A and B are shown apart, each in its own frame.
Chain A
């Protein structure tokens, strides 16, 4: 198997925790992993992305080629569009529908949604509302991961086990909140 994933959003939205969970699951499956992150100045409210590559064969490049990504997981709808040149023809976009408006020239959200709807494979979810409605406001990013699970090429229970391991040191309540978030995401995409 080989899955090339672009994780994106705005600095501070928690894309790296999604990457950590996928990385944990992949390592447990003895897969090869390469994950390029962005640290430093751009983390301050700017656009951020991480290239995550998992494969059963050795991986050469840390970066994904244009047209090479199988999945874009985005915490923000306009940010999902920014990385479309990297998506392959059959690739999936799994994105939060909630705009993060911290710039004066943010486009009309309806136009952003129209642009997303042009894509053949897109899942667009109001993860923040879903998280609030279910009493897990801090686990919106894991809902998004749940919605992306099918596109990752890793079994659901393997991802769930990784969620449990990654959050274990934060206590049972946080583990269960995130397991629930993962399930909500899975449900929302089907």
Chain B
């Protein structure tokens, strides 16, 4: 059957068709639509596949390992920075190995359309010594899922599948199978000791997985996802190594050159050598950081390996068909945007509660010398931009509270943290416990819009639980406030903020009003 699918949707459907038993994920652009698709899919509902959102990527990865422990197939989805949050279970999953197949789907965001950095997840795959896949088309993404789960079980290792924004968020026609494979039966086949990473067991596993690498590399060389083509028997002036979606940009340029397409790692050195031997020079075209290029170059300068490190391709940022074509010697189309066109940055929605929170906060902070506001990850990061210009930091999920504490330790006052509801449960709670334990002189604002708004309105793990969580962590009752962020409540809100800044200890203010986007959606659903 033919379907028009986003890359994310092709991945989701591929996983369902591969006999998935559960997806575990925290929303993050550009990976969110995978889990959303599974939540809405008929087969998934009939089978009762697990698809509820997790509190963060670490809890997601660990739950997936638990499902694998029981012999079933689990998918874990996240954006690239989410892999940092679950790095501990991710890397250790290479040591435990798996029973039921585990695929870790990580969506990288080169050029940072919606992110804080452009880290390349393929490094994590190599680091954890687990096989890595990088589809070049939506069809390949669909087809690869079944392979990924089979291969994961065959090698007893999790498989990392890395996609980038243009794959995740681009639609194409995909041929899908009519039949979905059955789920695995529950079993206890896993070698029990693999799951207990005491040093003696971990050492044994480490030897095993290290020894397995040669086989994984040979599989990548032999398998259908990597392909060396265009060799003529004569030495070509230029050959190409292109991975994942970058392969398409080379195809688009329409050049006829020997080309090694790479979609499965470890990097098959045998094929690389074959290409190098038949070309004067080789250009490496890859989306993200120079992962393949550095491996091919080694530590020495080589005039024969071209790519991001030598300036033929831009050192950072997303590839485009234009920059790839230019690197291949095709003259670029030159045209300018008319100078009157003004930048139009994203902004908080009209009617958004975060707006009222920033209005109140700014009004109060005017009264102090050098106030500092530590921000976090979410829509409210846009409070950095005019007209609010309200935050001084945004580093990673949860860093608002801990940075405010550290700054306070260093003598900063007022030190205010502003964090969203979903970000707070993702990674803010532990930091709040640190602050409570030392009664740090900080004011924490948990701006609760009852959803994970930035990624499109997914459930937020702590909804209806925030006061209880704060009390449980030891925030005192008299310094815990809930307000409704609306212009009419400004006098009350500003007075509470002022009082709590002047209180020299931990206080938590929870402005709570539903996200205007989900509010509109819910109103529409009611009408229908």
Q: Is B173 an interface residue (CB 8 A)?
A: yes
A61–B321 touching, CB < 8 Å: yes
Across-interface contacts of B166 in A (CB, < 8 A): 36, 62-63
Chain B interface size range: 35 or more
B454–A115 touching, CB < 8 Å: no
| Interface set, chain B 302-345, CB cutoff 8 A to A | 320-322, 325, 332-333, 335-338, 340-345
A44–B171 touching, CB < 8 Å: no
Q: Is B172 an interface residue (CB 8 A)?
A: yes
Across-interface contacts of A37 in B (CB, < 8 A): 6, 169-171
A87 to B33, CA, bound (A): 30
Q: Given A44-B349, A107-B341, A67 and B170 touching (CB < 8 A)?
A: no
Digitize A104-126: 1 where CB-to-B-CB distance is under 8 Å, 0 elsewhere: 01110001100100000000000
A67 to B352, CA, bound (A): 39
Across-interface contacts of B348 in A (CB, < 8 A): 44-45
Q: Given A44-B379, A65-B322, A39 and B29 touching (CB < 8 A)?
A: yes
A65 to B251, CA, bound (A): 13
Digitize A36-73: 1 where CB-to-B-CB distance is under 8 Å, 0 elsewhere: 11111111111100000000000111111111100000
Distance (Å) between the CB of B367 and the closest chain A CB?
27
Nearest A residue to B336 by beta-carbon distance?
A: A85
Contact of B172 among A33, A41, A43, A64 (CB under 8 A): A33
Distance (Å) between the CB of A90 and the closest chain B CB?
14
Contact of A33 among B171, B332, B455 (CB under 8 A): B171
B333–A85 touching, CB < 8 Å: yes
Across-interface contacts of A81 in B (CB, < 8 A): 337-338, 340-341
Contact of B321 among A47, A63, A105 (CB under 8 A): A63
Distance (Å) between the CB of B451 and the closest chain A CB?
14
Across-interface contacts of A185 in B (CB, < 8 A): none
Q: Is B382 an interface residue (CB 8 A)?
A: yes
Q: Is A132 an interface residue (CB 8 A)?
A: no
Q: Is A11 an interface residue (CB 8 A)?
A: yes
A46–B344 touching, CB < 8 Å: yes
Can you list 29 pairs linking A and B with CB atoms under 8 Å apart?
Answer: A27-B2, A27-B173, A32-B172, A33-B173, A36-B166, A36-B171, A37-B6, A39-B29, A39-B114, A39-B456, A40-B29, A41-B113, A41-B382, A42-B346, A44-B347, A45-B349, A47-B344, A60-B248, A60-B249, A60-B251, A61-B248, A61-B252, A61-B321, A62-B166, A66-B332, A78-B341, A82-B337, A85-B333, A103-B345
